[in-house]
A and B are shown apart, each in its own frame.
Chain A
Amino acid sequence: MSTLAALARLRALRDGTAQRLATVRHVHLSERPMVLIPLRLAGEAAAPLAVMAGTDPAHPRLLVVPQPRDRDLRFAFAAELAELLLPYIESLQKDTETVERRGAEPYERCVDAPQLIVPNRGAAAFVQLLGRSTRFRRAEGPYAVHASVPLLGRWLTFLAQRGRHPGSSLMPAATEALSLHWATGQSALEDANLASLIGWIDPPPGMTGAAAARQAEDPLIWPPAGPASDPGFDAEVLAPAIRAYEETRTEHAEARVREAVRSQLEPTWRLMWRAVGLLAALPAGPGCAGRWEADRAAFTSFAAQLAEGAPPQPRRDGAVGAASRLARMERAQASYDAQRAYDDPLVMAGYRLTGEAFTGTVAHADPERTEGEGRGRKLRPLVTVRTTDPVRLAPGTRLGTPERRGQQAELVAIDGEHVTLKIVKGMGRGMAATPGAVPGVGERVCYAALLDDFQPPAALPPPEETPWTHGGPPPEYEPPSDEEPDEEWS
């Protein structure tokens, strides 16, 4: 935890109300997000009990598996979920825009993408598990399922995997999104409880956040947001209802399970839309749109892969796939960190406290300074900034600045309160700086050792040329044959 976040938590505790950690919203919010709350049967790894989902706060759809241990019922439930989710996803694929690229063919990108908001990390993991259990199923042969089930599995897998991509907003978890913007007076572990987190941020009138959070811990008032349900409810309400269904298999018994589950999900459903409202009330950070564009591009390209009949996502990444995903994620993480700090002075303040960034006024500027001789002569303006921040950076460090995106400077020296910088990139071509590119004396500036500008990584070998050090080329994908429907479950 950063010093700034620790301070915010102490203040939250003292004042009894959550403190802001961000001045703008760093998560993109779709105009028509889908809220999805999954519940799992206790004691089973991947047995869905219910899902409450929908895009309209007034009309949640509730899907229930009256006997989650029955696999036929599970996949019937998956088909129902597909009926709910796939039309939402497909409706967003229709409108596209043409994106021009420098040095490459223009391509088509969907103008919007699905956004699945789940309550917490556990729910996101369960969505991934649900994807894992459905994407390899097939519509014909033994144990056939409805054709929409494997398709649902691929989409759930895509959304869950993309949800782990730094800066992505395709499948945010509500507790994580809220914790990014507010600090509460409780531990990070307690923040994973959606009801108590919202209690801190938005307590009912006449109540402190601390009191609201305490009340939220009573599972009778605020049932857990899933995927695990309250053990008391399981034992006293759910188990008898499922047993009754098991014995009679009547519509009446099914309705009993359904109503029991509804009572557990409806409070969370209302909380989820309150979370959406809280986030929507924050102004969007400038970097959100760019990151959402990347999400839309990922969505478009996955839809295209599906249309071309690509096989389901592999259970594990191959050697080359893993390395390339890691490179993409590292790049996205660095870029996300830099954009958040550039977009938000409060996030930048955290870096200023650790000495990785500083803010001050320009005390001296030499915009026409050059380095080198003859043809190698280059424009290298010098700027001296007076700052009272505790700068802890080594000479030679590359710095970026929120005021002039794309510009890069190099730290030359620190002398007491004076920091001297050399601008090395983004000040204009030739021997004269673009007017305004070099900050003038008296201007307030901020520089940080955070860059949102990356060299593309070196190419990886194609998978079929995986070298001997990494086990050689992987075997080609073969769909499981009908004779051996047994799957390897390791």
Chain B
Amino acid sequence: MSTAKPPAQEAAQVVDAVLADLPRHRGVVVDSPPGAGKSTLVVRAAGHLAATGDPLMIVAQTNEQVDDLIVRLAEEHPGLSVGRLSAADYAVPRRVEGKAAIGTKLPDLGDPAVVVATADKWAWAGGRTWPWAIVDEAYQMRSDKLLRVAGLFERALFVGDPGQLDPFSVVDGERWAGLSWDPLQSAVAVLLRHNPDLPVHRLPVSWRLPASAAPVVSEAFYPFTGFRAGTAPGERRLAYTADGMRTAYDHALEEAARSGWALYELPSRHTVRTDAEAVQAVAVLATRLLQRAPVAFSERGERPVTADRVAVGAAHRDQVAAIQAAGLPEGVTVDTANRLQGREYDVTIILHPLSGRRDATAFHLESGRLCVLTSRHRHACVVVARAGIPELLDAHPSAETVQLNVPVKFPDGWEANQAVLAHLSKHRVEAAPLR
């Protein structure tokens, strides 16, 4: 994607086009790649819609997302009255206190201009229709959830990241495959199949991903739409203020600081999910990173990278628990890909979903999982993996049953995995032999 326009101007034009489309259509969809200013758009659109005097409902997917939105709304539109619907056992976090009227039922809230709640909570709030709704993280919302709330609004703006994890279920949904209202599809997929004329906009610039990561992520996970980095190469820099010890860990961290990527590669082996050596490597890398006192230079200025700016990601919950148990520095976030969606850090250390596996299942091949894990960072991403993943992928080509009437989905998880690995192989650091 080459364009002469400065990124800020290009992004602003898309936002203006979205706002202009709102009154003209029953629904508007905005695709937003990682860190492309989705929340900014939601907050701006909320202000824009509330300014018309019509009440507005906002649907988010998790309580944390609801809280984040309330904080952002209060910052950007201090005059706007905001209500929050919540479950009876919801504990109000400090950052939300005083910023929204909180209640379990609509009448408890007074009559605020904007009401925010999770999709699950909205499903219980009947008895009133809203002229406008904003559905946030709409690609992570299952269409059956949309079915429960769609009767509440007349028109809606759907915002989300198509590259992230698809919704899932513990039961086999084969019987609905190919139906235009397949309840296991995302809300946007079902919406667009029934309303193919709705406008779809794309935010073109990632403000989060550095120039070293945006082309890699864009090519692997957004092959046809693409996006670019908001910063130029060299505009962001990571430096260590403490010297290293020339171990493989240090080499990996230095490679990550230099190029934005590092693959810390352990010897090939089939392991259980909570591979003790890989878990140990992740924990040591996180500890060593902070010991080296990193400093990040960016358009926001010079800032030390503290523990709260570092995240560790993995595919499974037991891996997360094992990494936690291996001893991480205080304050470092460690979570599964699902829960890291929508979050941003300076440096991330991830355990590759296919590391040490014998097989590549649909779960592990899902492109969204790797996309989330490799697109949370502003500066650098260190991937910990066992050697042999390309061979594993070659041995497991995607062989899912072809279902009639199911739209072909891009990107293909197998191909996206290969693309990321091909790039990582240029930043490979071999693990030190274990003693």
Contact = CB atoms under 8 A, between A and B. Distances in A.
B151 A322 contact: no
Contacts of A323: 143-144, 147-148, 183
B195 A469 contact: yes
B210 to A, nearest CB: 31
Contacts of B176: 316-317, 322, 326
A211 interface: no
Given A327-B144, A458-B148, A469-B191, A392 B175 contact: no
Contacts of B187: 469
Contacts of B321: 355, 392-394
Contacts of B194: 468-472
B325 interface: yes
B155 to A, nearest CB: 10
A465 interface: yes
Interface in B386-431: none
B170 A468 contact: no
Interface string B133-165: 000000000011011101100000000000000
Given A322-B181, A327-B144, A467 B171 contact: no
B170 A317 contact: no
Contacts of B180: 471
B143 A164 contact: no
Nearest to B125: A458
B3 interface: no
Nearest to A3: B272
A469 B150 contact: yes
A467 B150 contact: yes
A42 interface: no
B325 A460 contact: no
B90 interface: no
Interface residues of B, number: 38
A111 interface: no
Contacts, number: 95
A166 B150 CA distance: 29
A469 B198 CA distance: 11
A176 to B, nearest CB: 13
Given A326-B183, A392-B325, A458-B148, A334 B191 contact: no
A70 interface: no
B318 interface: yes
Residue from the set B183, B274, B318 with the largest chain A CB neighbour count within 10 Å? B183
B191 A326 contact: no
Interface residues of A, number: 35
B170 A334 contact: yes
Contacts of B318: 354-356, 392
Interface in B169-209: 169-173, 175-176, 179-184, 187, 190-191, 194-195
Residue from the set A329, A458, A471 with the largest chain B CB neighbour count within 10 Å? A458
A330 B179 contact: no
Contact of B147 (A164, A355, A470): A470
A320 B190 CA distance: 13
A333 interface: yes
A316 B169 contact: no
Contacts of A468: 26, 150, 194-195
A461 interface: yes
B166 interface: no
A164 B175 CA distance: 10
Interface string B74-115: 000000000000000000000000000000000000000000
A333 B187 CA distance: 23
A316 B182 CA distance: 11
A322 B148 contact: no
A320 B181 CA distance: 9
B123 to A, nearest CB: 3
B105 to A, nearest CB: 14
Contact of B171 (A329, A394, A465): A329
Contacts of B272: 3
Contacts of B169: 326, 330
Nearest to B359: A1
Contact of A166 (B126, B144, B171, B317): B171
B216 interface: no
A467 B175 contact: no
A334 B317 CA distance: 18
Contacts of B274: 392
B34 interface: no
A317 B317 contact: no
Interface in A324-342: 326-327, 329-330, 333-334
A276 interface: no
B124 interface: yes
Contacts of A319: 147, 181, 183
Nearest to A328: B171
B225 to A, nearest CB: 23
A460 B147 contact: yes
A333 B151 CA distance: 28
Nearest to B87: A455
A392 B322 contact: yes
Given A458-B124, A469-B194, A471-B194, A330 B150 contact: no
B219 interface: no
Interface in A71-89: none
B250 interface: no
A320 B408 CA distance: 24
Nearest to A161: B175
Contacts of B170: 330, 333-334
Nearest to A424: B89
Contacts of B260: none
A71 to B, nearest CB: 24
A320 B143 CA distance: 11
B262 to A, nearest CB: 27
Contacts of B175: 164, 317
B147 A471 contact: no
Contacts of B144: 322-323, 326-327
B27 interface: yes
Contacts of A471: 180-181, 194
B150 A470 contact: yes
Interface in A382-421: 392-394
A467 B182 CA distance: 15
A354 B183 CA distance: 30
A10 to B, nearest CB: 14
A318 B171 CA distance: 18
A470 B190 contact: yes
A8 to B, nearest CB: 16
Given A326-B171, A470-B194, A472-B194, 7 more contacts: A318-B181, A322-B183, A323-B144, A323-B148, A326-B144, A333-B171, A468-B150
19 contacts: A316-B176, A316-B179, A317-B179, A320-B147, A322-B181, A322-B183, A323-B148, A392-B317, A392-B322, A392-B325, A394-B321, A458-B123, A458-B124, A460-B147, A468-B194, A469-B27, A469-B147, A469-B190, A471-B194
Closest 9 CB pairs of A and B: A392-B321, A458-B123, A467-B150, A319-B181, A323-B144, A471-B194, A469-B150, A329-B171, A323-B183
